[in-house]
Amino acid sequence: MTAEMQSTQLPFVIAALKELSEDTSVPKNVRNCIGQTLKLLDEPAEISIKISRALHVLEGVADDANMQSYTRSQLLNIVSMLEVV
């Protein structure tokens, strides 16, 4: 995948994360982790490092027992999109 394709997919990931972070049905601790992920993706670092850190945070929160199944599906979708980038 070219760098141009990577940079065009990242805004979709960020938009999906922002949508989840604003969803009040998502547990607060999960929203906090999503907020942390958004900050990581906004850092001035190499894209591979930012994505690696973001994946680490999101994969850790994906196992939260309080999360509804459709939220977990959305989160895992975002993880998949990040893995492609």
pTM of the model: 0.84
- Tens of pLDDT, residues 37-65: 999 999 898 988 999 999 999 988 988 88
CATH number of the domain within which 54 lies:
1.20.1440.50
Q: Please, is 16 exposed, middle or buried when counting C-beta atoms within 10 Å of its C-beta (0-12, 13-18, 19+)?
A: middle
At residue 67, what are phi and psi to the nearest 5 degrees?
Answer: -80, 140
What is the number of structural domains in the chain? 1
Q: Please, is 23 exposed, middle or buried when counting C-beta atoms within 10 Å of its C-beta (0-12, 13-18, 19+)?
A: middle
pLDDT at 2 over 60: no
For residue 78, what are the domain limits?
3-84
